[in-house]
């Protein structure tokens, strides 16, 4: 699913820009480190509520977080 790839890519990029490890980023989002790890590895189909928590922490919308970007 390309949306999951975007979620993975954008959350990982944001986490690294903030210089947070997975545990810190997950705690600030209100999700578990295990869930974040699965998202970053594209090994889960996260609940909408989980995506909403990440989007809220990043001051973004769910649609922007899942929006497919060109690799250019």
Model pLDDT, residue 19: 98
* Domain ranges across the chain: 2-65
The architecture of the domain spanning 2-65 is Orthogonal Bundle (1.10)
Residue 61: HSE in the Cβ half-sphere, 13 Å Cα cutoff = 3
How much of the chain exceeds pLDDT 90, in percent? 89
- The pTM (predicted TM-score) of the whole model is 0.90
Whether the CB-CB separation of 50 and 31 falls below 8 Å is answered with yes
Which residue, 24, 29, 17, 38, is CA-closest to 58?
29
Q: What is the pLDDT of residues 32-43, one digit of tens each?
A: 999 999 999 999
Separation CA 72–CA 69 (nearest Å): 8
Whether the CB-CB separation of 31 and 52 falls below 8 Å is answered with no
């Amino acid at each position: 699913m390309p949306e999951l790839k975007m979620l993975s890519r954008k959350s990982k990029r944001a986490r690294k820009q903030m210089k947070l490890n997975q545990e810190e980023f997950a705690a600030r989002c209100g999700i578990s480190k295990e869930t974040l790890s699965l998202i970053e590895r594209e090994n889960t189909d996260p609940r909408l509520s989980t995506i909403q928590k990440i989007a809220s922490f990043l001051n973004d919308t769910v649609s922007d977080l899942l929006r497919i970007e060109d690799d250019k």
